[in-house]
């Protein structure tokens, strides 16, 4: 999920880092920690994170200075976390390139929402869950199917059947289960429907109809997608 999203926190208070560690990790973010300005800058540069949480009150250098140095090359979101609530500090931080400023103690739900908001606008093009099996490519969010990079046109029922099989890749799905899922509970004896639609699907995605490589018949039981 967010597991590929990396967040770096630069803060000298261990209890804040602990809190965020728990909060962010349980929301599937990957967290890296630095307790000094020095460390933070090195970590950010060596492996740039997707977002930085920056404390203003660091022991070795002012957070404002860290922000300025970061902004010389780092263009992703930076959120300031600070005990300082003076307008002067907030304005200065925002004008130095911070994207947001939260006063400690902050509410974790709000922080998470602000992180989501910034990550959303940072990468407005979220990646799609694409299932690729050999030359077949199924994009479940776009509802498209490609074979050898070319779009395959499927009807609603054909797509539903394929999607169900793909989502349970490798598993044998019984006739009853497939019929119930796609046509409804009153259709569980209409195995012929299934045969007709499996045949149509194969015609569209298999290369050799006599040796289907993806939609496998499990005689007497059901079908399986490989």
Q: How far is the CB of 29 from DNA (least distance, A)?
A: 27
Cis peptide before 105, with omega less than 30 degrees from 0?
Answer: yes
Rank residues 126 and 209 by Cβ distance to DNA and give the closer one: 209
Q: Which does 144 bind (CB under 5 to 8 A by kind): DNA, its own copies, none?
A: its own copies
Give residues in contact with DNA (CB under 7 A).
Answer: 153, 155-158, 175, 183, 190-193, 195-199, 202-203, 209-210, 217-222
| Given 4, 62, 75, 123, the residue binding its own copies (CB under 8 A) | 75
How many residues contact its own copies, by CB under 8 A?
Answer: 34
Rank residues 19 and 112 by Cβ distance to its own copies and give the closer one: 112
How long is the chain? 226
Q: How far is the CB of 39 from its own copies (least distance, A)?
A: 26
Please name the residues in contact with 142: beta carbons below 8 A apart, sequence gap of 6 or more. 128
Rank residues 36 and 118 by Cβ distance to its own copies and give the closer one: 118
The rounded distance, in Å, linking the Cα atoms of 32 and 139 is 32
| Given 94, 164, 166, 213, the residue binding its own copies (CB under 8 A) | 94
Q: Which residues bind its own copies (CB under 8 A)?
A: 75, 87, 90-91, 94-95, 97-100, 107, 109-110, 112-114, 116-117, 120-121, 124, 141-144, 155-156, 170-172, 218-221
């Amino acid at each position: 999920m967010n597991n590929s999203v990396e967040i770096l926190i630069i803060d000298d208070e261990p209890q804040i880092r602990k809190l965020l560690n728990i909060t962010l990790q349980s929301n599937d973010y990957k967290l890296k920690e630095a307790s000094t300005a020095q460390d933070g800058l090195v970590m950010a540069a060596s492996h740039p994170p997707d977002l930085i949480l920056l404390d203003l009150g660091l022991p070795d250098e002012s957070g404002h200075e860290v922000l300025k140095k970061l902004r010389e090359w780092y263009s992703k979101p930076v959120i300031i976390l600070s005990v300082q609530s003076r307008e002067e500090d907030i304005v200065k931080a925002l004008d130095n390139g911070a994207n947001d400023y939260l006063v400690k103690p902050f509410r974790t739900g709000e922080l998470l929402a602000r992180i989501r908001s910034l990550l959303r606008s940072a990468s407005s093009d979220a990646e799609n869950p694409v299932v690729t099996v050999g030359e077949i490519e199924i994009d479940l969010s776009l509802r498209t199917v490609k074979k050898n990079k070319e779009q395959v046109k499927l009807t609603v029922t054909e797509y539903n059947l394929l999607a169900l099989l793909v989502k349970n890749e490798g598993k044998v799905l019984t006739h009853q289960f497939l019929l119930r899922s796609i046509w409804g509970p009153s259709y569980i004896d209409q195995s012929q429907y299934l045969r007709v639609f499996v045949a149509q699907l194969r015609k569209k995605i298999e290369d050799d109809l006599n040796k289907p490589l993806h939609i496998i018949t499990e005689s007497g039981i059901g079908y399986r997608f490989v």
